[in-house]
Structure 1
Amino acid sequence: MKRSFIIPTLLILLLSVQIINADVQSQNSVLHQHSIEIERCINNGIRKADSLVKTGKPDEALTYYKSSLKSKDSLYNLITNSQMEEILSLYNMDKLILQREQRHSMFHQTCLYISVIIILALLLSNIHIYRSRKRLQKNEKEIRRLTSIAEEANEIKSHFLTNMSYNIRILLNNVVGFSQLMTEDGNLNEKEKREYSGIIQSNSAELIQLVNNVLDLSRLEANMMKFQLQNCNVQEWCNELPYLVQMRSEGYIHLVLQADVDNAIIYTDVSRFTQIISSMLLYPVECKKPRRIGMQLVYNQEKQEINFRIDNSPLADSAFASQKEAILQKINLLFFEHFNGSYRVENCENNPIIFFTYPALIT
């Protein structure tokens, strides 16, 4: 649109310049002829005046001299006016040429601006496409990673369910089998009945504990565990822990406790917290072997947390590795992570160590 408008304008300017040049040339030619005629008349007048002077008629010669000078002045004025008109014409012509060049320059600048805008638009479009492609690649990589995690989790869960089904089936078979023996076999004496009854009770208790652990694990994984939260003085809690461990282990576990906690306070479910700690200090299965366990507590005021360390924990001992032990480890991990703590297990030179932290309140 702009280009179709500019081209006719340039043609008109060119025609105008040509017309002006033609007019100037015609005027110059007319002026030149008129100047020649005036100059010829002046020369004739001067020759006549010179002849009259020679013939002794100075008064008449003076008239011709004056007429020639007057004609020469008019000639000079004519030439001056002609030159002024020529200068004005050249000025107008230069002005038209300048306007033409300005329009030319404006057209080029407009084309340049449009080209720059198009290049910037293409560049931004390429950047957007590049970023979109990178984002898609990142999302695809994340989807593959999550898919791999989900498949691994499903495999672990399937393995877990298989082992749980096996363990539950064994316990149920023991309970059902010995119950049938007690009800169907009338020849059992009192000693055998007490023995079978003890087996049924122990298997029933273990089955209930296993089911409760599985339910607790499911609630923690779904973040649906309900806690009775309250403030707990760590030092007072530590004073009662050794006696609790000795009583529940029937004296087979000797706990050496070192607590440097000042007056630290934690906000927790005391019953559940005690149960979690006890699972690390007691045998995960029935065992009558004496065991010495070291436990250290340090209050880190800078991080506002309690650092725990348990040495020679039965729960972390590979000798007691089982499905029940794995469930308890998972429950402990999820419990401390729920309260913004940490939990990890290390084996250093056959010495199983459990490290965990729990946030403390600012006192």
Structure 2
Amino acid sequence: MALFHSVSDIDYNEAFAKHAEIIHLMGRDVEALQLLKRAKTVRDSLQIELLNTQTEQVKSIHDVYLLQQEKERNYRYLQIIIISFLIVSIIAITVFIVYTYRARRKLERDEAEMRRMTDEVELANSAKERFLSNISTSISQPLDEVVGNSLLLASERQIEDQQRVAISEVVNKTSSDLMQLINNILDLSRLEAGMMRFILSDVEIFSLIQDAATGTSIGNGRKINIVCPQSALFWSHIDGPRLLNVFNNLFAFVISGKELQVAIEVNQEGTELMIKVYGTLLAHQNLSQDMIIRNEINRMIISHFKGVYESKTEAQTPYIYLTLKGNLTSFDQN
């Protein structure tokens, strides 16, 4: 027991218990019982102390684990913050690049549009100059002829009656053509400025085309062949006199030696009229200034009523193609 006392409390206590057992074998039970109680008390205190020591060790390990967890958590938070910052930076850079790209594309489109508009203005100015030059010639020549012949008729020169009649007819025809040209120029100016006044009403197109063809046939002595749907009427809410003027322009200039033909079709829904006019000079190239003006007037009038007006000069047989909006009805429905 003296050897164990300075080395190990546990071994000393066990030796103490052996001592109590030896005392018990010697018959000294009371003393052995006291020794056993003392040994048990010491053993319990040692176990409690050991348990407290283990508990402290567990607490220390737990504290170390918590510190490590806190460190890892802080490290993860730092990683999340860095990753979030990188993502936000990438998104901001991407948005900036996209915005810069779009701004550059818009700038390029605006520059291209400005160049296109500049080219169109230059072309328009050039066309305007050519138009004014041609118009000046188209007006001045017949005007000079009218003035010259009028002065001739008003002079005191002796002119035979037959020659006077011929000169009067020339003056009348030239004056009429000149007035028609001036009226066409004024109509074109009103259409381009959006100042043309239209009086709308429900017009039956087949009858209107027939009226224009009849008037032209009587005036020129030429027959006009019209092919259109039978037993039906096509109504359009349009300016009838203006549309009649369009067909009068088409039928007034006929290719010499050819019959003027008008082919009329209706789409399946019965809402659009498709018209082809063959044999009119307005469908050809190298037109006179008067024909160019009439073609442009026709196009702008038809376009105003949501239609199409095109010169098919590239076709084997050139023709004018135009469309009109409206409704097809049968005679019974009408």
Alpha-carbon separation, structure 2, partners of 1:269 and 1:144: 38
SS of residue in 1 equivalent to 2:318: strand
Contact 1:217 1:327 in 2 (8 A): yes
Q: Deviations over 1:195-219 (max 9, x none)?
A: 3332222221111111111111111
Aligned position for 1:357: 323
TM-score (norm 1): 0.77
1:268 is matched with which residue: 233, 238, 244?
238
Report the secondary structure of 2:327's partner residue.
Answer: coil
Q: 1:282 aligns with which of 245, 252, 256?
A: 252
Q: CA deviation at 1:170?
A: 0.8
Matches within 5 A, 1:215-294: 215-249=186-220, 251=221, 253-260=222-229, 262-283=232-253, 291-294=258-261
Inter-CA distance 120–352: structure 2 relative to 1 (3 Å threshold): closer
AA of the residue aligned to 2:133: T
Choose which of 47, 63, 75 in structure 2 pairs with 1:104.
75
Paired residue for 1:76?
47
Change beyond 3 A, Cα 1:161–1:302: same
SS of residue in 2 equivalent to 1:227: coil
Describe the shift of the 1:115–1:281 C-alpha distance in structure 2 as closer, same or farther (beyond 3 A).
same
- Residues 235 and 259, structure 1, Cα contact 8 Å, conserved in 2: yes
| 1:299 counterpart residue number | 266
The answer to whether the 8 Å contact 2:270/2:327 transfers is: no
Secondary structure of 2:233 counterpart: coil
Distance 1:149 1:267 in 2: 34
Amino acid at match of 1:171: P
CA gap 1:168/1:304 in 2 versus in 1, 3 angstroms: same
Q: CA deviation at 1:323?
A: 0.9
Q: Distance in 2 between matches of 1:283 and 1:227?
A: 25
Structure 1 residue ranges, 4+ long, deviating more than 4 angstroms after superposition: 34-37, 43-54, 56-61, 63-66, 347-350
* In 2: Cα distance, 1:317 partner to 1:46 partner: 136
Q: Are the aligned partners of 1:259 and 1:297 in contact in 2 as well (CA < 8 Å)?
A: yes
Change (3 A) 1:132 1:35: farther
In the alignment, what sits opposite 1:122?
93
Q: Report the CA distance between 1:241 and its aligned residue.
A: 3.9
Q: 1:133 to 1:340 in 2, by over 3 A?
A: same
Q: Superposition RMSD on alpha carbons, in Å?
A: 3.1
Report the equivalent of 1:209. Answer: 180
Provide the rounded CA distance (Å) in 2 between the counterparts of 1:361 and 1:353: 25
Give the structure 2 partner of residue 316 of structure 1: 283
Distance, in Å, in 2 between the alignment partners of 1:164 and 1:97 is: 97
Contact 1:304–1:361 (Cα < 8 Å) also in 2? yes
Report the Cα offset of residue 47 of structure 1. Answer: 8.1
**Are the aligned partners of 1:42 and 1:68 in contact in 2 as well (CA < 8 Å)?**
yes
Q: Could you state the TM-score of these two structures normalised by the residue count of structure 2?
A: 0.83
